[in-house]
Amino acid sequence: MKWQRKDLLGLRDVSEQEIQFILETAKPMKEVLFRSVKKLPTLRGKSVVTLFFENSTRTRTSFEIAGKVLGADTSSVTVAQSSVAKGESLLDTVKTIRAMQPDVVIMRHPSSGAAEYIANILDVSVINAGDGQNEHPTQALLDMFTLKEHMGELAGKKIIIVGDILHSRVARSNAYGLLKLGAEVIFAGPPTLLPLEMKTLGVQVTYDLDSVLPGADAVMPLRLQMERQQKGLLPTLREYNRVYGLNLKRMEQTGKQTLVLHPGPMNRGVEIESDLADSALSVIEEQVTNGVAIRMALIYLFVGGSANDVD
Ligand code: CP
């Protein structure tokens, strides 16, 4: 397959074939991460810019490592230390970045649609690193990569995503991607954080997590954003933890060795207990490693590589 897409804004309009191609491209990239010298000359002379208007540990760092391993020059714009803090608009910031001639721009922004907005301005590739409540496609790709490493093909696998679905770009991107790969996707959470309209994505929706756990192949609790309680969307964190919190005891209901994923950052003791997060069922740290491999694959594809010359 020849990679022809200019931008990665989300997985809603990405085909199954494109997803599989990205996941296949990430496999040799992951091998590079375990070499003693983690450096390829592949993208020497290319420039990668990350532009993050929201906090990030995993996504920004893994994009930066990914670009460096591929031999590109990476630069980060941190909003608090940039002219955005002096009132510069998104449009002027993006025009300024454009004038520096990057080869790819990776952006996280609190507004849904912000990545599409800048993609329409820039003639270089834009990768969405999370836009508001809309999509976080690279997170979903690394989740699918991790699941496939453990389960092979995902067709027919039962995958439950738990928690604050309403505000979650991770849940949306995973739903689009996992459904394209043939998985059965279930959203579970409290009614205030799980609108029934989510069914239109093609997922099942339930407020009763325990009823869907039997037979689950993977469960992914989402970070509960603490401000939800202040907004009256939750009674108490203790009540949330009682009904939706995941721990080893609750996971026994699946009746199998169910994988546990978490996009991070975790609220231990709220959506997940340490006995589970640090258990043999957890692939949370593998997700982080795989995030570097997926982001290497994406930078490589968008900056003009082909999938066959990673050596
Ligand atoms: N999963 C994720 O997006 O983590 P960061 O916010 O640390 O990038």
Contact 189, 233 (CB under 8 A): no
In contact, 301 and 3? CB cutoff 8 Å: yes
The predicted pLDDT at position 79 comes to: 83
- Atom 5 in ligand 1: which residue has the minimum CA distance? 56
- Supply the pLDDT for residue 147: 98
Q: Is 154 left (phi over 0), alpha (psi -120 to 50) or beta?
A: alpha
Atom of ligand 1 nearest to the CA of 60: 8
Alpha helices (H) in 49-187, listed in sequence order:
58-69, 90-99, 114-119, 137-151, 169-180
Q: Please answer whether residues 240 and 223 qualify as being in contact, where contact means their C-beta atoms are separated by less than 8 angstroms.
A: no
Write the pLDDT tens digit of every residue in 40-96.
Answer: 999 999 999 999 999 999 999 999 999 999 999 999 998 877 888 888 999 999 999
Q: Is 221 in the pocket of ligand 1 (CB under 6 A)?
A: no
Does 56 sit in the ligand 1 pocket, CB within 6 Å? yes
Q: At what angle do helices 16-33 and 169-180 cross, to 10 degrees?
A: 110
Give the residue-averaged pLDDT of 127-144: 98
Q: How confident is the model at residue 183 (pLDDT cuts 50, 70, 90)?
A: very high
Are the CB atoms for 303 and 72 separated by under 8 Å? Answer: yes
pLDDT, tens digit, 9 for 90 and up, residues 69-81: 999 999 999 887 7
Q: Do domains 16-135+288-303 and 137-287 have the same CATH topology?
A: yes
Q: Which is the closest atom of ligand 1 to the Cα of 263?
A: 1
Is the pTM higher than 0.85?
yes
307 pLDDT more than 50:
no
CA of 212 from ligand 1 middle (Å) equals 27
Q: How far apart are CA 30 and CA 7, in angstroms?
A: 22
More confident residue, 78 or 210: 210
Q: 16-135+288-303 maps to which CATH number? A: 3.40.50.1370
Q: Which fold has domain 137-287?
A: Rossmann fold (3.40.50)
Return the structure tokens found at 242: 């009682």
Assess whether pLDDT exceeds 50 at residue 308. Answer: no
Taking 90 as the threshold, does the pLDDT of residue 225 lie above it? no
Domain ranges of the chain: 16-135+288-303, 137-287
Rounded to whole angstroms, how far apart are CA atoms 277 and 113? Answer: 33
Instruction: Check residues 1 and 289 and name the one with the higher pLDDT.
Output: 289
Ligand 1 pocket test: pick from 52, 56, 65 the residue with the most ligand atoms within 8 Å of its Cβ. Answer: 56
Confidence of residue 305 (pLDDT cuts 50, 70, 90): low
For the CA of 62, the nearest atom of ligand 1: 8
pLDDT range class, residue 306, cuts 50, 70, 90: low
- How many angstroms does the Cα of residue 102 sit away from the middle of ligand 1? 23
Q: What band does 311 get if pLDDT is binned at 50, 70 and 90?
A: very low
178 Cα to the center of ligand 1, angstroms: 19
The mean per-residue pLDDT over the stretch 158-174 comes to 97
